[in-house]
Structure 1
């Protein structure tokens, strides 16, 4: 499922080692697509969609993992992995890969899921990144964000760090399943893949991964989004924007995306509601998402 497209390259940004991979055609006619995942996910969630694009031909795909997925880096929960930092990391990756910013036709398209919507917007608005287009999949870039679990985890991060590893892993797996429209039927293979960054059978590694997970949650700082909202910056996005939302998404309600639509103003172009899909829309309905994505990229 997600075994291919390994992130075999790395760069440095904000004190983190960023793992990434560039796949597909490298000729001057290939369109570059950068995938930005959210929390608590990894680039693995995008691999089926990336493969689908590759099979069409004409695309160069960039996958990378957000800062903070390398559990051995630090057990200190306050090492920075905030939206502010992740936006800076994305800007550094664009520079590292020398992604075109001058020719609109050759600028990369960006596909963002979950909190990555806020990351991509901040990277554009405060780091001057230019995109050919933006596709948001079940993303949240308005406040307040986070459901009851995330609010509790953010406020009581140190308490969650004290959970025994097996209890913590059970919690992680429950969180992952809750992002599907059919939690009881969610693939165990995918559950294992998505749990891997945060769990381990080795107690010392499990402890570090537990810290990594809580770091990502605890540092989802409202101020990093409020800064953009208070200045009404979203309407300054110059590229066309499409939003897709899984109709059974219990993490991000439709009203949040409708609010985002209003704030995007003229840059917003399409809103697609996908039935039988939850927050992990790209795994719940891979064929529909691939078709919608290809159609969008073909037009923009």
Structure 2
């Protein structure tokens, strides 16, 4: 389902070994498109869309896993500092924006070849920080069911943030059941949600090997525990969102139980005239790209053609 778009390249940033891949046309090409996933996902969630774009030709595609997610869970810094009492390695939005800026520079997309960015979930906040606080330029920005205003998190995420140590102590079988329940809750039709998709999205966080499973469990809890409201509050308090200078399209699944519509509409208001389109996708939840893949692909094609 996720095709063979392997993240075969690695670069180091902030102590993390970041796995990424660059696919498709070298120059001359129409656009470079960078996909940025959210939590608790990985780049796998975007691979069918990336494959569809590559099938059209003329696109250069960049996929990567956020630090601490997917295939980028190796923290390589010597004698690492502790980020909180439980974790080595920082996975906050602030740090992820620093990594994204470093990645764009690493593949020379920071100035000369401004990419189109497609961001889902907390990747919206990451993409905004990368532009507003690191000076990275985008050709355009497409925001899918994003979370970039406060407060953050539903009941589960608030509980996991406040009781991180308890979640680390869950038996592996119980923890896996929690992970799979979280994944299904992001779909509009969890009972019909593809078992293949569930396995793909759960794989970075669970394992039959107990020692590996423990490390993955730690990674899953870490990215929730380190979600820091201050990383978004800094942008909100300074009214920075109105400084975005690229065209923006917002898409929201009408049945998204994670991000209520009023939060997305509030963000659109803060982004002001940069928002050129606001699309509500029916029969779709937070995982809008798996609930309505054809509609999302059409909307992406249309947007990239316009910008």
Q: Give the aligned partner of residue 66 of structure 2.
A: 66
Q: Give the aligned partner of residue 134 of structure 2.
A: 127
- Of 79, 87, 92, the match for 1:77: 87
Distance in 2 between residues matched to 1:182 and 1:28, nearest whole Å: 42
1:234 maps onto 2:241 in alignment? yes
Q: 1:85-164, aligned counterparts within 5 Å?
A: 85-99=95-109, 101-102=111-112, 106-164=113-171
1:295 maps onto 2:305 in alignment? no
Cα pair 1:72 1:209 within 8 Å, conserved = no
Distance in 2 between residues matched to 1:38 and 1:243, nearest whole Å: 15
Distance in 2 between residues matched to 1:60 and 1:160, nearest whole Å: 40
Of residues 168-177 and 52-61 in structure 1, the stretch that sits farther from structure 2 once superposed is: 52-61
Distance 1:202 1:3, change over 3 A: farther
CA displacement, residues 156-198 of structure 1 (integer Å, 9 cap, x when unaligned): 1111000000000000000000100000000001100000110
Q: Give the aligned partner of residue 194 of structure 2.
A: 187
SS where residue 130 of structure 1 aligns? Answer: coil
The TM-score, its normalising length taken from structure 2, stands at 0.95
SS where residue 173 of structure 2 aligns? Answer: helix
Q: Which has the higher contact order (CA 8 A, sep 6+)?
A: 1
Cα pair 2:15 2:75 within 8 Å, conserved = no
- Of 183, 207, 211, the match for 2:214: 207
SS where residue 246 of structure 2 aligns? Answer: coil
Distance 1:100 1:87, change over 3 A: closer
Cα pair 1:153 1:160 within 8 Å, conserved = yes
Which 4+ residue blocks in structure 1 deviate beyond 3 angstroms? 70-76
Cα pair 1:235 1:263 within 8 Å, conserved = yes
CA displacement, residues 229-248 of structure 1 (integer Å, 9 cap, x when unaligned): 00000000000000000011
Distance in 2 between residues matched to 1:158 and 1:71, nearest whole Å: 19
- The alpha carbon displacement at 1:3 in A equals 3.8
Q: Give the aligned partner of residue 48 of structure 1.
A: 48
Distance in 2 between residues matched to 1:127 and 1:192, nearest whole Å: 35
Distance in 2 between residues matched to 1:26 and 1:286, nearest whole Å: 27
CA displacement, residues 250-286 of structure 1 (integer Å, 9 cap, x when unaligned): 0001001000001001111110000111000001111
Q: Give the aligned partner of residue 270 of structure 1.
A: 277
Q: CA RMSD in A?
A: 1.3
Aligned length in residues: 297
- The alpha carbon displacement at 1:78 in A equals 4.7
